């Protein structure tokens, strides 16, 4: 596949940060961990990876703005372009020695995501997409799965944990989806969940309480792989509602309906 200059910059930044994470992952028991919030950990590895991504992107496009998980918003002189960066999506997995984590970088131009990269260094899987140019895994073209019935579908999800999300509402949604599908999976990284939908590994996905840096690159991957996305209301205010539902056209529509079904607690 032919990559644009800007996508090559993003790939270089993600892979350089990924190599740093891979080294730290090998020494995961020795990492010094600081507490950021209930059940939400930030490690030295996370900060190192973010510094690498920031330095690489800043050098290539010094005027662009940033929205980063740790540093927050950094305004640049170019208000039309913004990087959305999660240097370590799946921090809890990382700290427990589970090889499901990723660097996620997206480029937003005038409010639209135009390029995205997700890199899992533990598995050496590089997902890339550019608007209008398709989605790829290690240079192999991606398409969402073709299954049209929920009863045949494996659906990914994010499970609320300590200090995050509405546990009661989620359990009702989970009960609904469990009763309609072939299986539920939880990877622990929203970026990889979305990448798996784009790759056809998952037929669909839903989650709440997500931030833009968690999902921006994955959203473009799915769209470029022929998939459909919305918030849980069926609209496109995904960043605003912090909710996302994804799949091919049939699974996306069916999953939305199941999530809206009322269920009385047992």
Over residues 156-175, the mean pLDDT reads: 89
Nearest Cα residue to 213 out of 196, 232, 191: 191
Domain ranges (residues) in the chain: 5-141, 150-260
> What pLDDT is stored for residue 43 in this prediction?
78
Read off the pLDDT band of 10 (50, 70, 90): very high
Q: Give strand ranges (E) for 90-177.
A: 102-109, 112-120, 125-130, 134-137, 140-141, 154-157
Beta partners for 116? 106, 129
User: What topology does CATH give the domain 150-260?
Assistant: D-Maltodextrin-Binding Protein; domain 2 (3.40.190)
Of 16-20, 126-130, 162-166, the poorest mean pLDDT is in 162-166
Mean pLDDT, range 201-207, rounded to an integer? 98
Tell me: pLDDT of 142 over 90.
yes
Please give the pLDDT value at position 38. 41
Question: Which tens digit of pLDDT belongs to each residue from 58-72?
Answer: 999 999 999 998 899
**Range from 19-33, 67-81, 188-202 carrying the lowest mean pLDDT:** 19-33
pLDDT for residue 262: 78
**In sequence order, what DSSP letters do the residues of 177-228 get, joined into one string?**
HHTTSSEEE--S-HHHHHHHHHTTSSSEEEESS--HHHHHHHHHHHHHTT-E
Q: What is the arithmetic mean of pLDDT over 211-233?
A: 98
The pLDDT of residue 39 is: 43
With residue 33 as reference, give the H or E element that holds it.
Answer: strand 33-37
Secondary structure element (H or E) that encloses residue 84, with its range: strand 78-89
- Give the model's confidence band at 36: pLDDT under 50 very low, under 70 low, under 90 confident, else very high: low
Paired with 244 in beta bridges are: 207
* Cβ-contact 137, 126 below 8 angstroms: yes
Instruction: With beta carbons less than 8 A apart as the criterion, state whether 117 and 7 touch.
Output: yes
Q: Say what the pTM is.
A: 0.93
Distance in angstroms (rounded) separating the CA atoms of residues 234 and 237: 9
Weakest-pLDDT range from 34-43, 151-160, 225-234: 34-43
Q: Which two tokens stand for residue 182?
A: 């072939």
Alpha carbon distance 91, 221 (integer Å): 22
Query: Where residue 97 falls among pLDDT bands split at 50, 70, 90?
Result: confident
210-224: average pLDDT: 98
Residue 85 confidence (pLDDT) above 60: yes
Class of residue 72 by CB neighbours under 10 A (exposed 0-12, middle 13-18, buried 19+): exposed
Q: Which of 197, 98, 207 is nearest to 159 (CA)?
A: 207
Query: Which CATH architecture best describes the domain 5-141?
Result: 2-Layer Sandwich (3.30)
pLDDT of 242-266, one tens digit each? 999 999 999 999 999 999 987 555 4
Residue 190 confidence (pLDDT) above 70: yes
183-185 vs 154-157, strand pairing mode: parallel
Confidence bin at 171 (pLDDT 50/70/90): very high
Average pLDDT, the chain: 93
């Amino acid at each position: 596949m032919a990559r644009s200059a800007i996508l090559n910059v993003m790939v270089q930044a993600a892979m350089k940060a990924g190599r740093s994470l891979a080294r730290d992952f090998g020494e995961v028991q020795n990492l010094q961990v600081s507490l950021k919030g209930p059940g939400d950990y930030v490690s030295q590895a996370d900060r190192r990876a973010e510094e690498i991504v920031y330095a690489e992107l800043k050098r290539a496009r010094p005027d662009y703005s940033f929205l980063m998980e740790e540093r927050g918003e950094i305004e640049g002189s170019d208000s039309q372009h913004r990087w959305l960066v999660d240097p370590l999506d799946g921090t809890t997995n990382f700290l427990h020695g589970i090889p499901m984590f990723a660097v996620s970088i997206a480029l937003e131009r005038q409010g639209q995501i135009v390029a995205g990269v997700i890199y899992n260094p533990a598995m050496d899987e590089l997902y890339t997409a550019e608007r209008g140019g398709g989605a790829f895994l290690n240079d192999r073209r991606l398409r969402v799965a073709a299954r049209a019935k929920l009863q045949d579908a494996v659906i990914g999800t994010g499970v609320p944990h300590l200090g995050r999300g509405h546990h009661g509402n989620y359990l009702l949604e989970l009960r609904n989806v469990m009763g309609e599908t072939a299986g539920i999976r939880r990877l622990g990284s929203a970026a990889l969940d979305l990448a798996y939908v784009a790759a056809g590994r998952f037929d669909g996905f839903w989650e709440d309480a997500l931030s833009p840096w968690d999902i921006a690159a994955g959203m473009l991957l799915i769209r470029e792989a022929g998939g459909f996305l919305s918030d849980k209301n069926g609209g496109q205010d995904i960043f605003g509602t912090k909710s996302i539902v994804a799949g091919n056209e049939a699974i996306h529509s069916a999953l939305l309906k199941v999530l809206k079904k009322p269920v009385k607690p047992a």
